[in-house]
């Protein structure tokens, strides 16, 4: 199943997504500009949708989030949504390995009303996470994993080490149009999320579920995992 039809007519999922977005997830001007900046680069729009952005903001607010960690900034579209959940003295660390993505993200972050709270670091998430652990940084209240898919399980394990009981960890793209059902998958992205999803089956450190996501984007899903006491 795919949320996008063969025809140019929007699917029911797309129409309903648009309806929800109009009601409760209107984009700010910086968000619209962020998408234009991404498309102008000729990059596929891998950002989350407005409705998904609002969902992240709602969840981050529910955690009374003061410190957010994001892996995979891309064009900083999701960063803008997450930053909306922060108090004035909040902190959002977002990590991007691509210098090209980071250059565009930097322009977008400068337009955020919460720009002073946002720390964009360019480098491999794996290296930066290990540094943060060594530095014994304060735990994060909300963590969004949306970086390269092959090491998703390792990112989850490191995210747990940077968390506290009650921290919510969300991982994007864990259903991949249903390709995760294929036991013979060879795509490294599919294999990466399969490893994460299987890890959650026996991981006792978090209480987790997986939410299927449909709407204006491809059929996919997000892990929602809360760190146990
Ligand atoms: C891909 C990555 C993403 O973060 C996303 O939301 C969609 C697709 C990808 O690498 O294929
Ligand atoms: Mg993603």
pLDDT, tens only, 172-203? 999 999 999 999 999 999 999 999 999 999 99
Residue 1: pLDDT above 50?
A: no
Per the CB < 8 A criterion, the answer to whether 96 and 109 are in contact is no
Rounded to whole angstroms, the maximal C-alpha distance in the chain is 53
| pLDDT recorded at residue 8 | 76
Residue 213: pLDDT above 50?
A: yes
- Low-confidence winner among 5-14, 23-32, 139-148 (lowest mean pLDDT): 5-14
- Compute, in angstroms, the gap from residue 157 CA to the centroid of ligand 2: 18
Of all ligands present, the nearest one to the C-alpha of 187 is 1
- For residue 210, list its beta bridge partners: 223
d(CA 81, CA 212): 20
| Ligand 1 nearest atom to the CA of residue 146, by list position | 4
Indicate whether residue 46 lines ligand 1 (CB < 6 A): yes
Indicate whether residue 146 lines ligand 1 (CB < 6 A): yes
Chain segment 14-61, per-residue pLDDT in tens: 999 999 999 999 999 999 999 999 999 999 989 999 999 999 999 999
- Compute, in angstroms, the gap from residue 143 CA to the centroid of ligand 2: 13
DSSP string, 132-186: HHHTTPPPPSEEEE-S-STTHHHHHHHHHHT--TT-EEEES-SSGGGGGG-TT--
Of the residues 46, 47, 76, 125, which should be mutated to test ligand 1's pocket, given the most ligand atoms within 8 Å of the CB? 46
User: What average pLDDT is seen over the chain?
Assistant: 96
pTM to 2 decimal places: 0.96
| pLDDT recorded at residue 7 | 60
| Ligand 1 nearest atom to the CA of residue 149, by list position | 10
| pLDDT recorded at residue 26 | 98
- Compute, in angstroms, the gap from residue 151 CA to the centroid of ligand 2: 14
Chain segment 55-112, per-residue pLDDT in tens: 999 999 999 999 999 999 999 999 999 999 999 999 999 999 999 999 999 999 999 9
């Amino acid at each position: 199943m795919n949320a996008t039809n063969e025809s140019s007519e929007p699917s029911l999922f797309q129409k309903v997504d648009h309806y929800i977005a109009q009601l409760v997830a209107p984009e700010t001007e910086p968000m619209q500009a962020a998408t234009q900046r991404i498309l102008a680069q000729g990059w596929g729009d891998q950002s989350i949708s407005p409705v998904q952005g609002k969902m992240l903001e709602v969840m981050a607010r529910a955690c009374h989030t003061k410190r957010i960690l994001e892996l995979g900034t891309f064009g900083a579209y999701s960063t803008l949504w997450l930053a909306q959940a922060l108090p004035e003295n909040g902190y959002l660390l977002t990590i991007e390995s691509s210098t090209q993505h980071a250059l565009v993200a930097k322009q977008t972050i400068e337009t955020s009303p919460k720009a002073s709270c946002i720390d964009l670091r360019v480098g491999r998430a794996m290296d930066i996470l290990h540094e943060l652990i060594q530095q014994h940084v304060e735990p994060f209240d909300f963590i969004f994993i949306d970086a390269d898919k092959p090491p998703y399980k390792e990112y989850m394990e490191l995210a747990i080490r940077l968390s506290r009981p009650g921290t919510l960890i969300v991982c994007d793209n864990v259903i991949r149009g249903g390709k995760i059902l294929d036991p013979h998958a060879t795509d490294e992205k599919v294999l990466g999320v399969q490893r994460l999803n299987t890890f959650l089956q026996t991981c006792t450190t978090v209480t987790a579920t997986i939410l299927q996501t449909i709407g204006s984007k491809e059929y996919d899903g997000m892990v929602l995992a809360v760190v146990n006491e």
